Amino acid sequence: MKPAQSLLSSGSRLLLIPGRRSPGLRGFATFKPKMASEQPFAFGPYKIDPAEVFYATSLSYAMVNLRPVIPGPSLSLSLSLHARFVDLSADETIDLWLTAKKVGGQLEHYHKASSLTFTIQDGPQAGQTVPHVHIHILPRKGGDFKENDEIYDAIDEKEKELKQNLNLDKERKDRSSEEMTQEAGEYRKLFL
């Protein structure tokens, strides 16, 4: 059994895409966006353009953020559309956190950050506005917020704005699809 596969039960498989695997990934793979065989990714009820996704396994994926509060944030999401963290299987939980760890490490280095903030808002009273398990991954630098914990207020505010305004079938008022696709393309290179 390969090392990465040993982390998952025998019934789970990692997404392996021919021509995109490297020995350093140990079973995890990136993918080419907009492949004909790809099904669209979803973030709760919203469709996500595969070009905005930069890392995926058979159970989770990472995408760029529509409304960043600082440079470089991303989301790690379960591929299954579970609204709550407690609804994930053990394999999904492990894979989601391994994805967040891998993505966070790469983005921290890429953005020359010194720390990472990982946050989950699990349920409406916790500030979750999109009913889909996801982890916010934020590369942090000294002084990016006057008070360190202000980042949580900023995330809450962006989540509320997102709920009010996000409709991917209409014109975006935030970052353009082109900006997000370009950023995802840069991040995708980190996993080759």
Check whether 136 is labelled as a binding-site residue: yes
Check whether 117 is labelled as a binding-site residue: no
List, as one string, the DSSP characters of the chain. --HHHHTS-TT------TT---GGGTT-B---TT-TTPPPEEETTEEE-GGGEEEE-SSEEEEE-SS-SSSS-EEEEESS--SSGGGS-HHHHHHHHHHHHHHHHHHHHHTT-SEEEEE---SGGGT--SSS-EEEEEEE-TTSSSSTTHHHHHHHHHHHHHHHH--TTS--SSS-HHHHHHHHHHHHHTT-
Catalytic (active site) residue 134: yes
Count CB neighbours of 48 within 10 A. Answer: 20
Check whether 132 is labelled as a binding-site residue: no
Relative orientation angle of helices 90-110 and 177-189, to the nearest 10 degrees: 90
Check whether 127 is labelled as a binding-site residue: yes
Q: Which of 109, 111, 132, 134 is catalytic?
A: 134
Q: Which positions make up the binding site for substrate?
A: 65, 121, 127-130, 136
**Enzyme catalytic residues:** 134
Q: Which positions make up the binding site?
A: 65, 121, 127-130, 136
